[in-house]
Amino acid sequence: MKLVIAGGSGLIGSALSLQLLEKGHSLTVLTRSPVARAPHPNQKWQLWSPPTPGAWEETIDGADAVINLAGEPIAAKRWSEEQKEKIRSSRVDTTRALVGAIAKAKKKPRLLLNASAVGYYGPHGDEILTEAAGPGDDFLSRVSSAWEDEAEKAQDYGLRVIRLRTGIVLAKGGGALAKMAPPFKLFAGGPLGSGKQWLSWIHIEDEVGLILFLLEHPHAHGAVNATAPNPATMREFCKTLGRVLHRPSWAPVPAFVLRPMLGEMADMLLTGQRVFPDTAQRLGYSFRYPNLYEALQACMPL
């Protein structure tokens, strides 16, 4: 297939691009900064600055599918009002720009696979959440809901739209584990807050594997939870991480410490969602890493 990827240089996008190229697909990666390295023969890099129109829109015309993974990292900085707007705009406005380019294309793609997040659901305690659950009403929920609404507009132009609600991605050398592992290595690791909040996670190989599966599955559409079938509580997650690193998990960080440090962002860490991948399993996707211990082991060394 001829594919366009926005956000193709991030953690997920980089791993996905390698797999797509190995399968013989041709890729155009939309990037905000020039790329110095020589591209793969089947890979091109196109500068873009959404939501500003430009030459990048021409890459959409004739593509078979558009994969949108673009977005400011959620935990990159404290959530000032400026940073919150950057998080929102990098998702909502960017998706709107992509759908606008799709509308202009003479030969339109067949599929828009658009990233979203399990933050869509908001805090739900121990409640089991599938794709049928509605959105929450906190900051990340509102951003994710608006993000998905923009992607859904591509259906007006005949596209199959998939909204991929991803959990915490476990990967070697990057992502959440790169921030979580150092305290454990210093024998100072432990759960955040009560430890009872749920973490819905997925190994990077399953994140990429599920995207490939959905690209090739003509009946897949709508919301798809990209999470392993066995979510864990924060306490269970940290205990398992400590076991894999051969370190104790004994130093919890109380909520009253996190809130002054992180502000509103602390709510994301102190609450959670117990999400299950009903749609992926119903469609027949088989998880390579359904269990947390094996998934964390596969990420070693950190």
Higher pLDDT, 37 or 278: 278
pTM of the model: 0.95
pLDDT tens digits, residue range 112-165? 999 999 999 999 999 999 999 999 999 999 999 999 999 999 999 999 999 999
pLDDT tens digits for 252-287? Answer: 898 988 888 888 888 888 999 999 999 999 999 999
pLDDT above 80 (res 205)? yes
Q: Give me the mean pLDDT over the 186-194 stretch.
A: 92
For residue 38, pLDDT beyond 90: no
pLDDT at 261: 80
pLDDT at 36 over 60: no
**Res 35 pLDDT > 80:** no
Kindly state the average pLDDT of the residues 25-36.
Answer: 86
- In three-state form (DSSP H/G/I as H, E/B as E, the rest C), the secondary structure along the chain is CEEEEECCCCHHHHHHHHHHHHCCCEEEEEECCCCCCCCCCCEEEEECECCECCHHHHHCCCCCEEEECCCCCCCCCCCCHHHHHHHHHHHHHHHHHHHHHHHHCCCCCCEEEEEEEHHHHCCCCCCEECCCCCCCCCHHHHHHHHHHHHHHHHHHHCCEEEEEEECEEEECCEHHHHHHHHHHHCCCCCCECCCCCEECEEEHHHHHHHHHHHHCCCCCCEEEEECCCCCEEHHHHHHHHHHHHCCCCCCCECHHHHHHHHHHHHHHHHCCCEECCHHHHHHCCCCCCCCHHHHHHHCCCC
